[in-house]
A and B are shown apart, each in its own frame.
Chain A
Amino acid sequence: MNDFDLVRKNLFRKPLRTILLTVSIFMAFLIFGMLTSLNVALDAASETGTSGNRLIVSNKINFTQPLPISYLNRVATIKGVTGVTHQSWFGAYYRDQRQGFFPGFYVDPETYLALYGDQVKLTEPEKKAFMSERTGVLVGKSLADRYGWKLGQTIPISSNIYVKPDGGRTWDMKITGIFTGAKPTDSTSAIYFHYDYVNETRTFGRDTIGNIAIRTVSPDLNDSIAKTVDAMFANSSAETSTVDEKTFARAFLKQAGDLNFIVTMVVAAAFTAILMIVSTTLVSAMRERTKEIGVMKTLGFSSPRVLRMVLGEALLLSTMGAVLGLGVSALILKGLAKSPAGAQLGDLSMAPTVAVSGLLLAITLGLVTGAIPAVSALRMSIIDALNRR
């Protein structure tokens, strides 16, 4: 028998209590694992495909509001701008809306590939085919894998925004390329197709675009170019807001609100509740064992050793709950990543940093919840402990 055996036996002296406490801690770490991983995935997704010398021009009211396509040529004339293109959200889904949406953009093929060729990796024949085929569509590899799409196949892509003159919402598109990302971890769950094909056949919003992407000579010029663009369209019917690509991507992905703040608040609330529950229970559990602690000290166990054992119980409890909570959330994330909704979030899995922070949090939780009973065990005099009834 060693100290750990004693810690373990003491922790499980009332199995139901220990199980209930473990489940409480498990729930807190499940919430932590899921929300933090989601936040990390969103952050990573907002980094994907962004570049320091690219700016995004969108409608000042909201990026969901359109801009006239005529802005494109005017922006291109600004000094320091080396390339422009545009992209628009289509609200794309495949066959059944209930299976979820995926990012679908209608773009100008030539200028888009000129600006984003580093992010949309294709073979030369695929590029040529996409540019020449009016109904051509580029599909990301993960999306193609999910739906079993093959090169050359014609697929029906529907929109939850646009309607055709015949009332239909579906555009048939021919897969002319299956792209991979710049990095293996980059999300490849989007599709890109021709602006002209959509623009000619939609019933509203003709000759408008979602936003304009600008490539600048140098990131140093970003600020001045952004100001020039916004000044150019000030007091027009569609004023603009120009920001760097990373800022835009974050804003786009976090439309629901400040996820960092929400995640922090939810996790903090969960942990505060658990801290109270576990601390109170451990204090009362330790009070039940006052006499035993007195006996251990009488036998010669030093006060610091008793303190370590009491802290050890709290640490073992929090670590068990944390490992279970993080483990189950990792499994759930794995399952979610395969779902249509999860696929849109890119690399939805538990990052090592999340697991490590979770374990550090477990150690902190154990130390904090164990502190009061441990210190009272440390200070407890043998006489008082043995005389307590």
Chain B
Amino acid sequence: MSALIQLNNVTKNYRRGKEGIAIFDGLTMGIEEGDFVAIMGPSGSGKTTLLNLLGGTDRTDGGEIWFDGERIDGYSEGQLAAWRARSVGFIFQFYNLMPVLTAAQNVELPLMLTKLSPKKRRDNVETALKIVELSDRAKHKPKELSGGQQQRVAIARAIVSDPKLILADEPTGDLDRATANDILRTLQLLNKKLGKTIVMVTHDPEAARFATRTLHLDKGRFVEAMA
């Protein structure tokens, strides 16, 4: 396996009032293509910040971020948006679906950023919904779906444009155990069958067991342990 994502000597600080807080001070790490990494750690350890840096939704104060041979930390806002659209799928704790759109339309959103024909778009949406076993709910709006179903729609949205990387921020944090396991099995399937690289932030050790490896992050530093 080769490193899909490489962070070199990354620093990230936040200002809280007049006080500067260092989240990362020279963080170096690599995530291989096809990995399913769980990131665990106490609150404030920098898990979500790391996910934001990996997804290009936040910027470093220093160091380098490489993705698939491209250095992305110097990209402009527009370049980062285009890169996210083609390379990254996002899954959030609270699903973050558009309430005015149906499940299929929510899944179609990332495809609005591509030049695919309407037919190809429909085909991709159908395939993505089939993968998450929600074809029969395509025309339902989010409020007509259960939490688990909404999260599966969000997963379909994350994979519909066939990105290499999927970033999941507490994807099971709002779900009961059984539903959470369903979601995690789906993520595992995406990793094993479709070869997606997945980085998942979680507080839940049960969830972390579905990953191929777990990184424990504490005060901006991490310790790797096999799941």
- A, B: real partners: yes
When distances are taken between beta carbons in the complex, the residues of chain A under 8 Å from B77 are: 302-303
Given contacts A9-B100, A291-B96, contact A298 B84 (CB under 8 A): yes
| Chain B minimum-CB-distance residue to A383 | B58
Given contacts A382-B57, A383-B57, contact A1 B85 (CB under 8 A): no
Flag if B92 contacts A297 (CB, 8 Å).
no
Flag if B81 contacts A303 (CB, 8 Å).
yes
How many residues on the A side are at the interface (Cβ–Cβ under 8 A)? 23
Flag if B84 contacts A300 (CB, 8 Å).
yes
| Chain B minimum-CB-distance residue to A304 | B78
B209 to chain A, nearest CB (A): 27
**A258 an interface residue at 8 Å Cβ cutoff?**
no
Given contacts A298-B55, A299-B90, contact A10 B82 (CB under 8 A): no
Flag if A299 contacts B101 (CB, 8 Å).
no
**A161 an interface residue at 8 Å Cβ cutoff?**
no
**CB under 8 Å from chain A, chain B span 71-106:** 77-78, 81-86, 90, 92, 96, 98-101, 105
| Chain A minimum-CB-distance residue to B108 | A1
Flag if A299 contacts B98 (CB, 8 Å).
no
A382 to B113, CA, bound (A): 18
When distances are taken between beta carbons in the complex, the residues of chain A under 8 Å from B101 are: 1, 6, 9
A384 to chain B, nearest CB (A): 11
A10 to B83, CA, bound (A): 26
B88 to chain A, nearest CB (A): 8
B188 to chain A, nearest CB (A): 23
A107 to B129, CA, bound (A): 86
B137 to chain A, nearest CB (A): 17
A9 to B105, CA, bound (A): 11
Contact with B along A255-266 (1 / 0, CB 8 A): 000000000000
Contact with B along A291-308 (1 / 0, CB 8 A): 110011111111110000
**B127 an interface residue at 8 Å Cβ cutoff?**
no
Given contacts A295-B92, A383-B58, contact A300 B52 (CB under 8 A): no
A351 to B127, CA, bound (A): 55
**CB under 8 Å from chain B, chain A span 303-325:** 303-304
Given contacts A2-B112, A295-B92, contact A302 B82 (CB under 8 A): yes
Flag if A300 contacts B82 (CB, 8 Å).
yes
| Chain B minimum-CB-distance residue to A296 | B109
A54 to B99, CA, bound (A): 70
Given contacts A2-B112, A383-B57, contact A300 B85 (CB under 8 A): yes
Contact with A along B179-199 (1 / 0, CB 8 A): 000000000000000000000
A301 to B86, CA, bound (A): 11
When distances are taken between beta carbons in the complex, the residues of chain B under 8 Å from A12 are: 100
When distances are taken between beta carbons in the complex, the residues of chain A under 8 Å from B105 are: 1
When distances are taken between beta carbons in the complex, the residues of chain A under 8 Å from B57 are: 297-298, 382-383, 386
B37 to chain A, nearest CB (A): 20
A302 to B80, CA, bound (A): 9
Partner of A299 from the list B58, B78, B84 (CB cut-off 8 Å) is: B84
When distances are taken between beta carbons in the complex, the residues of chain B under 8 Å from A3 are: 112
A46 to chain B, nearest CB (A): 52
Flag if A297 contacts B81 (CB, 8 Å).
yes
Flag if A300 contacts B110 (CB, 8 Å).
yes
**CB under 8 Å from chain B, chain A span 1-47:** 1-3, 6, 9-10, 12-13
A298 to B209, CA, bound (A): 27
A177 to chain B, nearest CB (A): 67
B199 to chain A, nearest CB (A): 15
A2 to B90, CA, bound (A): 21
A375 to chain B, nearest CB (A): 15
A9 to B52, CA, bound (A): 29
A13 to B98, CA, bound (A): 10
Given contacts A297-B81, A298-B57, contact A1 B52 (CB under 8 A): no
| Chain B minimum-CB-distance residue to A387 | B48
When distances are taken between beta carbons in the complex, the residues of chain A under 8 Å from B84 are: 298-300
When distances are taken between beta carbons in the complex, the residues of chain A under 8 Å from B96 are: 291-292, 295, 386
B71 to chain A, nearest CB (A): 19
Given contacts A296-B109, A298-B90, contact A10 B85 (CB under 8 A): no
* 22 A–B contacts, CB within 8 A, in A order: A1-B101, A10-B100, A12-B100, A13-B99, A13-B100, A295-B96, A298-B55, A299-B84, A299-B109, A299-B110, A299-B113, A300-B83, A300-B85, A300-B86, A300-B110, A301-B113, A303-B81, A304-B78, A382-B52, A382-B57, A383-B57, A386-B96
A residues contacting B by CB (< 8 A) are 1-3, 6, 9-10, 12-13, 291-292, 295-304, 382-383, 386
B residues contacting A by CB (< 8 A) are 52, 55, 57-58, 77-78, 81-86, 90, 92, 96, 98-101, 105, 108-110, 112-113, 157
